[in-house]
Structure 1
Amino acid sequence: MTTSRRLAERKVEKFQKNITKRGVVSETSTKKGKDYPVGPVLLGFFVFVVIGSYIT
């Protein structure tokens, strides 16, 4: 079975679009420099527990 010319042209067009987008990264997927994975309250609590268990 052979593919129709229209279908083949659509596939080529879709492939060409992907090639022109190569290397372009959207700004939403980039991380901000000041974004911490843990909040300051949780970090403070963790330090409190670790230092508190070390002292006793």
Structure 2
Amino acid sequence: MATASKRVTNAKSGKFHQLVHKRGHVEVEKKTEKSTVNKLMLGFFLFVVVGSALLQIIRTATSGPMV
């Protein structure tokens, strides 16, 4: 039983020494920001908004003077 406990002690000691060497070294994860709006949906939204605005301008321009 003495060899098993010595093996466990050595394994724990190895883990401890690895962690001691890592102390103070902060690894920063790179965060990638994903857009919540798909590019296709954004294009469709702009198409609808700009298109409806243009149609409204054309409709107002061709309707003639307001009396």
Please say whether Structure 1 and Structure 2 have the same fold, judged by a TM-score greater than 0.5.
no
Structure exhibiting the larger radius of gyration computed from Cα positions:
2
TM-score (ref. length: structure 2): 0.38
What's the TM-score, normalizing by structure 1? 0.43
